[in-house]
Structure 1
Amino acid sequence: MRTIPSSMGSTQENQPHVVCVPLPAQGHINPMLKLAKLLHSKGFFITYVNSEFNHQRLLRSVGSDALHDLPSFHFETISDGLPPPENPDATQDVSSTLNSLHETGLGPFKSVLSKVSTLYSPVTCIVADFLMGFTLPAAEELGIPAVLFWTSGAGSLICYDQYPNLIQKGLMPLKDFLHVQILKARRTWSMTRFGMKTRREGAQKMKMIELPLAIINTTRISLHKDKVFSRA
C-alpha cells in the first residue's frame, strides 16, 4: 500500500480527514469514488477503503501507477472475509460479500481507522455506503462522526424505507414465483393500494413491479432503526 511522504505531515494536520467506505460492488464503488474526489478537490484528506478483492481488481484494471502520486488521497483495504475465488476477475456475489462483511468487517475496519489516524492525521469523519452498517459501531465507539451515502436513486430509498411497513402488513416478501408472475401481470397496481406512505405524490404512483428486487424476493434486508440498512 502506497503511503504519503512524511514531509507532507504539516499539511495533513490542517486538513479534515475523511474515510470513505463503499459497498464492494461496481455500482457503489464508482459513485463513492466520485464523491471522494469531489471532497479531495475541496481540500479534504481522503482515505478510501476498498475490499482487498476489489482493490486488486482495480489495480489490474488501471495499473498500480494510477493510484500513485495523488497528494492527500490514498487507499486502504479490508478483507471481505470470504475465500478468494478461483478467477480473480470474477464478479462476487454481493449478498454473500455483504453478509460476510457485516459478520467480520468491524474489527479490520477499526484497525484501519487506528492505522490511518496514526500515520496521517486523526479521522474527522466517516462517509460509508448506506448498506455498510458495520461502520457505524466503529464510528460510535471511537467518537467519529459518520455520514451515510445512498448511491441509488431517491425512489429506491423510499422503497427501502417503506419495506418494514410492507412486511408488517404481510405483503412482502412475495412468497413464490407465482406471486411474481401475478405482480408482473398487474403492472398498474399503485403503491397506495399496498399501504405505501410518502409525502411525494409521484412516488405513490409507483408500480409494485418497480420495487427493488431485493425487496420483492427476500426478507434478508432489515432496517437498523434510525440508522442504516443491514443484512441479518
Structure 2
Amino acid sequence: MATPQHQPHVVVVPYPGSGNINPALQLSRLLHRHGVFITFVVTEHNLRRAQQAAADTDSAVSSRDAFRIETIPDGLVDVDRDNQDYDLGLSKATTHRCAAPLRELVARLRGGATAGVPPVTCVLPTSLMSFALEVARELDVPSMVLWGGCAAALMGHMRLRELRERGYLPLKVI
C-alpha cells in the first residue's frame, strides 16, 4: 500500500440521482480495493436521506479507512424539492450553484491540509456534473468523466452535433 502522501486520491462527484450515485459508488469501491484513497462527494440532502434510511433500518453508516464521504449543497431550497419539475430544477441548481462549494472542497483536499488525507490526484465526476471538470482544470488537477449510461446513449450523445449539422435535429413534424 502506498504511503498517504504518495497514495492516489480520487474525488468522485456523482450527479445526485441514484442512476449516477450507484455506478459511481461501485467504481469507487473497486478503486478503493486497489489502494486508491476515495473522497466520495454527495449532496447534503442525499446524505441526510441516507442517514435517515440507515436509522430506519437500525444500521449505521460507517467510515472506512481511505474512503471518505464529503458533502456539498445541491443548490435547491426545500420547497423546490416538491415541485413537479424537480429533476429539471435539480439539474439547473447543480450546474449553476455547485461549482464554488466543490472548488473549496477540492482546494482544501488538494493542499493536503487534512491529516491522513493524501493530496487529490484526480477528480472523477459523472457526466451530468460536468462543471467539476472546469473546477479540476482551474485547480490543475487531472480529471476524467464517468459515463454511467449504456453505450447506445453515449453514441447518441456524441453524435448530437453531427445530427444537427445534417438537419436531422430538431425533429420535424411531417
Coarse TM-score class (shorter-chain normalised): 0.7 to 0.9
Distance 1:99 1:87 in 2: 13
Displacement after TM superposition at 1:115 (Å): 2.6
Distance 1:154 1:93 in 2: 27
Q: 1:68 aligns with which of 25, 48, 62?
A: 62
Displacement after TM superposition at 1:163 (Å): 1.0
**Residue in structure 2 matched with residue 149 of structure 1 by the alignment:** 146
Distance 2:11 2:135 in 1: 12
Distance 2:79 2:54 in 1: 21
How many residues align? The count is 167
* Percent identity for Structure 1 against Structure 2: 34
**Residue in structure 2 matched with residue 101 of structure 1 by the alignment:** 94
Distance 2:158 2:26 in 1: 25
Q: 2:106 aligns with which of 110, 113, 130?
A: 113
**Residue in structure 2 matched with residue 138 of structure 1 by the alignment:** 135
**Secondary structure in 1 matching 2:42:** strand
RMSD (Å) for aligned C-alpha atoms: 2.5
Distance 1:12 1:92 in 2: 44
Q: Which has the larger radius of gyration?
A: 1
Tell me which amino acid in the other structure corresponds to 2:138.
Answer: E
Cα distance, 1:95–1:173 mapped onto 2, change above 3 Å: farther
Task: Give the TM-score normalised by the residue count of structure 2.
Answer: 0.84
Tell me if the contact between 1:25 and 1:94 (Cα under 8 Å) persists in the aligned partners: no
Q: 2:12 aligns with which of 10, 14, 20?
A: 20
CA deviations 1:109-149 (Å, max 9, x no partner) are 01111233321221001111012111111111111000111
CA deviations 1:45-66 (Å, max 9, x no partner) are 1100011111211222234964
Displacement after TM superposition at 1:11 (Å): 4.5
Cα distance, 1:65–1:124 mapped onto 2, change above 3 Å: farther
Matches within 5 A, 1:1-232: 11-63=3-55, 66-85=60-79, 93-117=86-110, 118-119=113-114, 120-174=117-171, 179=173
Distance 1:122 1:48 in 2: 14
Displacement after TM superposition at 1:18 (Å): 0.6
Distance 2:81 2:157 in 1: 33
Displacement after TM superposition at 1:92 (Å): 7.9
Distance 2:18 2:50 in 1: 10
Distance 1:113 1:33 in 2: 18
Task: Give the TM-score normalised by the residue count of structure 1.
Answer: 0.65
Structure 1 residues without counterparts, runs of 5 or longer: 1-9, 183-232
**Secondary structure in 2 matching 1:113:** helix
